[in-house]
Structure 1
Amino acid sequence: MKILAIADEESKYLWDYFEKSKLEGIDLIISCGDLDPRYLSFLATFTSAPVLYVHGNHDDKYERIPPDGCICIDDKIYVHEGVRIMGLGGSMRYKPGQYQYTERQMRHRVFKLLPKILWRRGFDILVTHAPAYQLNDARDLPHQGFKIFRSLIEKYHPKYFLHGHVHMSYGRQHKRYDKYMDTHVINAYDRCVFEFEAENPADTL
């Protein structure tokens, strides 16, 4: 399964210089947040692949302009061709905002998801906006990751953890790819494509 992951900045390659052939072979598109909803709608128009998304901390406009033809997976487990995908959007709370959470609030969201996690016997891909604590995050509060995300990885060992929020343009410490325990960690900033079944997805990024 070939997956296109996107986040934080609309890709000029896909939007400004779009050709339909660029989406050929893509089986699934996953947005990790902070993208113009019209960009997601645009991509959904030109592909038969599902377009899934979680909210970023700047996505208040989604209430007024929902991305047409796309599926919100916040606080859900979405299954595509047998692959279980769990979504938890938003960032650490650093000011009043609809999609900002304290660590405690994020833990409560995860607690409410536990019946679904047990029913599905875990999940294969964890999709978030913010990174996990001390795993490709930053020390300032706005870009600090959630400890509960690390706990989820440590307990359920998903194959992939996709996130955004920390732009790779911020500095070299924010990597496209990392690995934590058995989980491949991918920063979806801008765009990247990877093969779900790949033994070493870093080679396909």
Structure 2
Amino acid sequence: MKILLVSDQIDPFVYSSTIKEVFADIDCVLCAGDLSMDYVDFIVSSLNKPTYFVFGNHNLEHLKYFHKELQKEDQQLKEYSCGAIYAGFSVIRDNSLLIPHPVSKKPTPLLIAGVSGSRDYNHGQCQYTENQMKFKLLKLVPQLIMNKIRYGRYLDIFLTHATPRHVHDHEDNCHKGFKVFNRFLKKYKPTFMVHGHIHLYDLNEPRISRYDQSIIVNAYGHYVIELPVTDSSDIPVIVD
């Protein structure tokens, strides 16, 4: 299974008339935030593959369509759809994308958990403190336990905008990672964590690292991953 990752910028390699040819073998698309919904819609309509997205801390014009608490009482919102599925603060089981059960090897759904937003740095929309993010993640736990019982694992992919602390993050308040993500990874051990938020202007910055048992991938621009993973021995390990 090949999965296209995108985040943070309109990548000319993706936003192209040749997208169907270049990504003909893609099975799924994951959008890790800070993207216009028009761009997400272009990807969905061009590739016609299951597409999941979370919001970042920018490009939030459509956030109110997916979070009722942001809607004003007198606000009449029309139905909004870009063809992609919002994965923010939810657990998703995609029965059209199959992963072998770790023991029985029977086909089981691709398991995704998604989280929107970044660290709170100026009290804007879709920004969270450590405690706020902790409680957001706690609400996912019952569904993760159900995954473990039914499918032999909690999670395949953890889709976020922000990073874990000290994994691909920076030291300014906006770009610090969440410590609670580190604990989440150690507990639920997704094969991949896919994030955005950190722009790869410096070619020396890592795009891929291993943390505990998870492969952490920065989706900036675009990147392609594969499941199941055949070999991760050459991926640098981060230890906290």
TM-score (norm 1): 0.92
Percent of residue pairs bearing the same amino acid type: 31
Whose radius of gyration is greater, 1 or 2?
2
Residue 154 in 1 paired to residue 181 in 2?
A: no
Counterpart mapping for 1:72-91 below 5 A: 72-80=86-94, 81=97, 82-91=109-118
Secondary structure at the aligned position of 1:61 is classed as coil
1:29-76 Cα distance to aligned partner (Å, 9 max, x none): 000000111000001101221110011011311247856101000011
> Structure 1 residues 115, 173: CA separation in 2 closer, same or farther (over 3 Å shift)?
farther
After superposition, the Cα gap between the structure-2 partners of 1:74 and 1:94, relative to the gap in structure 1 and judged at 3 Å, is same
CA RMSD of aligned residues (A): 1.8
Question: Quick one: distance in 1 between partners of 2:3 and 2:160?
Answer: 15
5+ residue gaps in structure 1?
Answer: none
- Please list the CA deviations of residues 68-90 of structure 1 after superposition, one character each: whole Å capped at 9, or x if unmatched: 10100001111222111000110
Aligned to 2:134: 107
SS class of match (2:145):
helix
1:136–1:173 contact (8 Å) kept in structure 2: no
* 3-state DSSP of counterpart to 2:185: helix
Whether the 8 Å CA contact 2:55–2:63 is kept in 1: the answer is: no
Q: Distance in 2 between matches of 1:202 and 1:185?
A: 14
The question of 1:119 aligning with 2:146 is answered yes
Change (3 A) 1:39 1:11: same
Q: Whole-Å Cα distance in 1 between the matches of residues 183 and 120 of structure 2?
A: 19
Report the Cα distance in structure 1 between the residues aligned to 2:189 and 2:233, rounded to whole angstroms: 18
Alpha-carbon contact 1:40-1:67 (below 8 Å) kept: no
Counterparts in 2 of 1:172 and 1:22: CA distance versus 1, 3 Å: closer
Compute the displacement of 1:111 (Å): 1.1
Would the aligned equivalents of 1:126 and 1:160 in 2 still touch at CA under 8 Å? yes
Q: Which moved more, 1:93-102 or 1:13-22?
A: 13-22
* 1:94 pairs with 2:94: no
Q: 1:163 to 1:196 in 2, by over 3 A?
A: same
When structure 1 is superposed on structure 2, of 79-88 and 127-136 the one drifting more is 79-88
Note closer, same or farther for the CA distance 1:64–1:108 as it changes in structure 2 (3 Å cut). Answer: closer
Distance 1:116 1:64, change over 3 A: closer
1:133-172 alignment to 2 at 5 Å? 133-169=165-201, 171-172=202-203
1:200 corresponds to which residue? 231
Q: Structure 1 counterpart of 2:113, which letter?
A: M
Q: Which runs of 5+ in 2 are unaligned?
A: 66-79, 98-108, 149-153, 235-240
Quick one: which amino acid aligns to residue 160 of structure 1?
Answer: F
Query: What's the CA shift string for 1:105-150, capped at 9, x where partnerless?
Result: 0001011111111111211111100000011101111000001110
Return the structure number with greater helix share. 1
* Paired residues for 1:48-67 under 5 Å: 48-63=48-63
